[in-house]
């Protein structure tokens, strides 16, 4: 029976029954006790600060209030980060996730893309000129690339920047309605500057897309400058806190020095100097794609915390007539939906950790003048961004469904997480498009393999013998699981390449052959990402040093991730009889065993993510499990309940009850 104070007794029992020390697992997830301590310190600073608690809850705010309240919070966060000297991105990330959870910042693009783009693409002189102004918020900027007519195909952008050597200025124009910038975050009402991606014209030639610093609003009055039309694009699926905007430029002149010229240049006479690699200008997108992996993992982890704690507390249906109602977490179907997602959240966290390290290492090389790893960084970040945002968004929605009716209420906290994570499937490169970029890389690697050239380590699995059968036995060893994923990916890569080859042989051009094979190419890219993430998870649990009980529990979770992925995508694994039917049965049986094995640790696994209640903001995911009292309090706090009888009763219901409908004819 659940008590109404203290920790819910079912939840308390779950915590007593776990096989490992939760603190040890938190230490492993966040890379050591010192880092856990630091994260808690940062969370505490935010959650205990009365400033963040003075506002009404997000779900009860109007769109305008969402923007205004979130703006205040983020300006305060900015001030506090300076006061506290929080300079590391990871520190800012933890402080912010607790201060304004899943509330997309009205100055977010300024921090995440505007400043990093100046830092990475600006000359020393430009950095000296703009960074102090940007740091002090005198300049507030965004990354204005997408247009109404083009988001994916950025070479097709229509905004023009034409160099005038007489005045040494660029003239910016939005020549058509489709060329207006549309979607950039914070553009509508907040920013006074933009980094505008535009087609560069000089000496009568188009030199492709480049970045230009454009002031759009007066620094004193904040009014749009001459030649600028700018505004908010209106309500969206979510992101109400963010003024995604539109922008039209009409003959806007900016000095030559406002083109970002670290790599490409326009000299005073209009001579164009090429960058060492044209795609170096895409670097800010790569940064955010890399960050999205951790962001998506965090969303799914929080959704799992909410849904799994609630499933331990919620009881529904007597299992035998007259008996006790079961905890819903004991239903195998509930476990089958939730535990693989729990495993996925861990897999994605480790992928995010890897991505962060790899991004830092590779960009340091690029900045040192070695561009060799740029294609790998692009392929891995594009693939992991797409794979993680797809898996995590779908996973958050399943977590919501697993909470039944209460999952549909904002009281669950789940809709807020979902609308924050799901645009990650679209922004920074629509996921299908990103997977096709991965496929392009895979086809290049396949070509190298055919030519007997060396492959990067993470692609060496492609040379696997595709006639080999699975080594899977009753033991379901981790190495056999990894081999299965790599086998499937290698075969799908070969099949996609064969499809293109066949089309070429039938007389199609290479472009037609590509377009005729994009579904197979996408399958191959997804299979490659799935193999990459699985192998990373396995290596993390096998090779890392950690407490032995944690290792044993984490190994079960890792196995569940791998086995579930195979059972759910069986077609791809048995198409070439890699597994025989006996092995399929072994895997299905193992899946059920793993669900039972993970069951006693499910709550401990989510507790280890160590998200305070103030971050989860969920009546269902509370640490103490007192969900019913919380739901009741939430309902009572609804503004709809401020009056016992609403004015609308007297205005509309009462007259209707008396058969009076005159007020409608006045309309």
Ligand X SMILES: Cc1cc2nc3c(=O)[nH]c(=O)nc-3n(C[C@H](O)[C@H](O)[C@H](O)COP(=O)(O)OP(=O)(O)OC[C@H]3O[C@@H](n4cnc5c(N)ncnc54)[C@H](O)[C@@H]3O)c2cc1C
Provide the binding-site residues for ligand LUWPKQH6, judged by CB under 6 A.
Answer: 89-90, 93, 108, 112, 143, 145-146, 152-155, 185, 279, 282, 285-286, 288, 290-292, 294-295, 355-356, 359, 374-375, 378, 427-429, 433, 437, 440, 444
User: For residues 190 and 154, what is the distance between their CA atoms, to the nearest angstrom?
Assistant: 25
Of 106 and 621, the one with the shorter C-beta distance to ligand X is: 106
Please choose, from the candidates 391, 387, 379, 572, the residue with its C-alpha nearest in 3D space to the C-alpha of residue 492: 572
The entry of ligand LUWPKQH6, ligand X, none near residue 239 (CB within 5 to 8 angstroms by kind) is ligand X
If one asks whether residue 376 binds ligand X (CB under 6 A), the answer comes out as: no
Is 368 annotated as a binding-site member? Answer: no
Of 108 and 395, the one with the shorter C-beta distance to ligand X is: 108
Shortest reach from residue 398's CB to ligand LUWPKQH6, in Å: 21
The entry of ligand X, ligand LUWPKQH6, none near residue 356 (CB within 5 to 8 angstroms by kind) is ligand LUWPKQH6
Within a 13 Å sphere around the CA of 329, how many CA atoms are in the beta-carbon half? 22
If one asks whether residue 335 binds ligand X (CB under 6 A), the answer comes out as: no
Q: What 8-state DSSP symbol labels residue 251?
A: S
Shortest reach from residue 253's CB to ligand X, in Å: 23
User: For residues 495 and 311, what is the distance between their CA atoms, to the nearest angstrom?
Assistant: 43
Of 298 and 314, the one with the shorter C-beta distance to ligand LUWPKQH6 is: 298
Of 240 and 429, the one with the shorter C-beta distance to ligand LUWPKQH6 is: 429
**Tokens in use for 231?**
């505004």
Shortest reach from residue 350's CB to ligand LUWPKQH6, in Å: 14
**Tokens in use for 656?**
């209707």
Stretch that binds ligand X, among 144-152, 209-217, 270-278, 302-310 (CB under 6 A): 144-152
User: For residues 188 and 229, what is the distance between their CA atoms, to the nearest angstrom?
Assistant: 10
If one asks whether residue 108 binds ligand X (CB under 6 A), the answer comes out as: no
Is 159 annotated as a binding-site member? Answer: no
Q: What 8-state DSSP symbol labels residue 281?
A: G
For residue 344, the Cα-to-chain-centroid distance in whole angstroms is 14
* Residues 385 and 393 sit within 8 Å (Cβ to Cβ): no
If one asks whether residue 546 binds ligand X (CB under 6 A), the answer comes out as: no
Shortest reach from residue 247's CB to ligand X, in Å: 10
Shortest reach from residue 559's CB to ligand X, in Å: 33
The entry of ligand X, ligand LUWPKQH6, none near residue 116 (CB within 5 to 8 angstroms by kind) is none
Of 80 and 385, the one with the shorter C-beta distance to ligand X is: 385
Let me know if 428 is a catalytic residue. yes
**Tokens in use for 77?**
């966060």
User: For residues 139 and 110, what is the distance between their CA atoms, to the nearest angstrom?
Assistant: 9
Of 256 and 378, the one with the shorter C-beta distance to ligand LUWPKQH6 is: 378
Shortest reach from residue 320's CB to ligand LUWPKQH6, in Å: 48
Residues 6+ apart with CB under 8 A from 14: 312, 600, 602, 603, 604
Stretch that binds ligand X, among 141-149, 297-305, 358-366, 501-509 (CB under 6 A): 141-149
Residue among 14, 103, 158, 428 flagged as catalytic? 428
Shortest reach from residue 198's CB to ligand X, in Å: 12
* Residues 308 and 603 sit within 8 Å (Cβ to Cβ): yes
If one asks whether residue 199 binds ligand X (CB under 6 A), the answer comes out as: no
User: Tokens 């086995």 belong to which residue?
Assistant: 563
If one asks whether residue 480 binds ligand X (CB under 6 A), the answer comes out as: no
If one asks whether residue 245 binds ligand X (CB under 6 A), the answer comes out as: no
Q: SS3 breakdown of the chain: % helix, strand, coil, rounded to 5?
A: 60, 10, 30
> Which of 244, 307, 388, 393 is close enough to bind ligand X by CB under 6 A?
244
> Which of 25, 69, 86, 109 is close enough to bind ligand X by CB under 6 A?
109
Q: Which residue is nearest to ligand X (CB)?
A: 151
**Tokens in use for 265?**
């240049």
Write out the binding residues for ligand X, residues 409-438 only, by CB under 6 A.
423, 426-427, 429-430, 432-433, 436
Residues 6+ apart with CB under 8 A from 107: 71, 74, 75, 78, 137, 140, 186, 190
User: For residues 50 and 60, what is the distance between their CA atoms, to the nearest angstrom?
Assistant: 19
> Which of 151, 188, 407, 565 is close enough to bind ligand X by CB under 6 A?
151
If one asks whether residue 177 binds ligand X (CB under 6 A), the answer comes out as: no
Stretch that binds ligand X, among 122-130, 147-155, 160-168, 289-297 (CB under 6 A): 147-155
The entry of ligand X, ligand LUWPKQH6, none near residue 432 (CB within 5 to 8 angstroms by kind) is ligand X
What mask, x for binding ligand X by CB under 6 A, covers residues 283 to 312?
------------------------------
> Which of 183, 246, 387, 537 is close enough to bind ligand X by CB under 6 A?
183
3 state SS for 44-98: HHHHCCHHHHCCCCHHHCCHHHHHHHHHHHHHHHHHHHHHCCCCCHHHHHHHHHH
Shortest reach from residue 382's CB to ligand LUWPKQH6, in Å: 7
Burial 64-76 (b: 16+ CB within 10 A, else e): eebbebbbbbbeb
Please choose, from the candidates 401, 381, 399, 380, the residue with its C-alpha nearest in 3D space to the C-alpha of residue 391: 399
Shortest reach from residue 427's CB to ligand X, in Å: 4
Q: What 8-state DSSP symbol labels residue 414?
A: H
Q: What 8-state DSSP symbol labels residue 223?
A: P
* Residues 373 and 366 sit within 8 Å (Cβ to Cβ): yes
User: Tokens 């080859």 belong to which residue?
Assistant: 501
Of 61 and 104, the one with the shorter C-beta distance to ligand LUWPKQH6 is: 104
Please choose, from the candidates 118, 115, 117, the residue with its C-alpha nearest in 3D space to the C-alpha of residue 107: 115
User: For residues 569 and 571, what is the distance between their CA atoms, to the nearest angstrom?
Assistant: 6
If one asks whether residue 121 binds ligand X (CB under 6 A), the answer comes out as: no
Question: Which H helix or E strand runs over 255?
Answer: strand 252-255
Binding site for FAD: what residues are annotated? 146, 185
Query: What are the residue numbers of the active site?
Result: 428
Residues of this chain that bind ligand X (CB under 6 A): 109, 142-146, 150-152, 183-185, 239, 244, 423, 426-427, 429-430, 432-433, 436
| Residue positions forming the annotated binding site | 146, 185
């Amino acid at each position: 029976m659940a008590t109404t104070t203290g920790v819910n007794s079912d939840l308390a029992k779950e915590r007593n029954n776990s096989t490992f020390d939760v603190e040890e697992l938190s230490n492993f997830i966040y890379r050591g006790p010192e880092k856990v301590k630091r994260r808690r310190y940062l969370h505490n600073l935010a959650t205990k600060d009365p400033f963040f608690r003075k506002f009404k809850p997000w779900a009860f705010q109007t769109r305008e209030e969402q923007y205004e309240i979130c703006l205040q919070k983020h300006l305060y966060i900015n001030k506090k980060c300076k006061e506290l000297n929080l300079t590391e991105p990871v520190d800012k990330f933890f402080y912010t996730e607790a201060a304004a959870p899943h509330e997309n910042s009205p100055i977010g693009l300024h921090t995440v893309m505007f400043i990093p783009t100046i830092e990475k693409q600006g000359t020393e002189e430009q950095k000296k000129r703009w960074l102090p102004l940007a740091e002090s918020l005198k300049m507030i900027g965004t990354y204005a690339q997408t247009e109404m007519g083009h988001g994916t195909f950025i070479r097709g952008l229509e905004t023009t920047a034409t160099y005038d050597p007489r005045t040494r200025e660029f003239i910016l124009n939005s020549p058509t309605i489709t060329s207006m910038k549309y979607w950039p975050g914070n553009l509508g009402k907040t920013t006074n500057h933009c980094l505008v991606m535009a087609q560069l014209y000089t000496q009568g030639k188009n030199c492709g897309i480049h970045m230009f610093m454009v002031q759009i609003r007066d620094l004193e009055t904040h009014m749009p400058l001459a030649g600028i039309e700018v505004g908010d694009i209106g309500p969206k699926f979510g992101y109400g806190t963010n003024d995604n905007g539109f922008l039209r430029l009409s003959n806007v002149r900016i000095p030559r020095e406002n083109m970002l010229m670290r790599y490409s240049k326009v000299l005073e006479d209009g001579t164009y100097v090429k960058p060492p690699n044209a795609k170096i200008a895409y670097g800010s997108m790569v940064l955010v794609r890399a960050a999205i992996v951790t962001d998506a993992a965090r969303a799914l982890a929080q959704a799992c915390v909410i849904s799994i704690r609630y499933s331990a507390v919620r009881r529904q249906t007597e299992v035998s007539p007259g008996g006790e109602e079961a905890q819903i977490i004991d239903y195998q179907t509930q476990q089958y939906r939730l535990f693989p997602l729990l495993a996925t959240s861990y897999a994605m966290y480790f992928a995010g950790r890897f991505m962060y390290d790899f991004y830092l290492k590779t960009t340091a090389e690029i900045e040192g003048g070695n561009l060799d790893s740029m294609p790998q960084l692009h392929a891995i970040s594009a693939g992991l961004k797409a794979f993680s945002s797809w898996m995590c968004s779908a996973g958050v929605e399943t977590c919501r469904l697993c909470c039944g009716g209460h999952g549909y209420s904002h009281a669950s906290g789940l809709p807020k997480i979902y609308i924050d994570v799901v645009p990650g499937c679209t922004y920074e490169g629509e996921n299908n498009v990103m997977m096709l970029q991965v496929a392009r890389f895979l086809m290049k690697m396949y070509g190298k393999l055919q030519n007997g050239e060396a492959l990067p380590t993470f692609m060496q699995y492609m040379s696997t013998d595709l006639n080999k059968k699975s080594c899977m036995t009753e033991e379901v060893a981790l190495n056999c699981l990894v081999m299965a994923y790599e086998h499937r990916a290698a075969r799908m890569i070969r099949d996609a390449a064969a499809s293109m080859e066949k089309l070429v042989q039938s007389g199609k051009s290479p472009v037609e052959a590509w377009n005729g094979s994009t579904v197979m190419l996408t399958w191959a890219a997804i299979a490659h990402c799935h193999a990459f993430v699985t192998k990373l998870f396995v290596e993390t649990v096998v090779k890392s040093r950690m407490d032995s009980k944690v290792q044993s529990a984490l190994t079960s979770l890792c196995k569940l991730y791998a086995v579930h992925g195979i059972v759910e995508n069986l077609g791809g694994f048995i198409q070439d009889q890699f597994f025989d039917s006996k092995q399929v049965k072994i895997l299905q049986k193992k899946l059920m065993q793993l669900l039972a094995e993970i069951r006693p640790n499910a709550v401990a696994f989510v507790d280890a993510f160590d998200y305070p209640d103030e971050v989860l903001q969920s009546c269902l995911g509370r640490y103490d499990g007192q969900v019913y009292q919380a739901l009741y309090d939430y309902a009572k706090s609804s503004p709809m309940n401020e009056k016992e009888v609403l004015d609308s009763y007297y205005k509309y219901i009462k007259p209707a009850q008396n058969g009076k409908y005159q007020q409608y004819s006045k309309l």
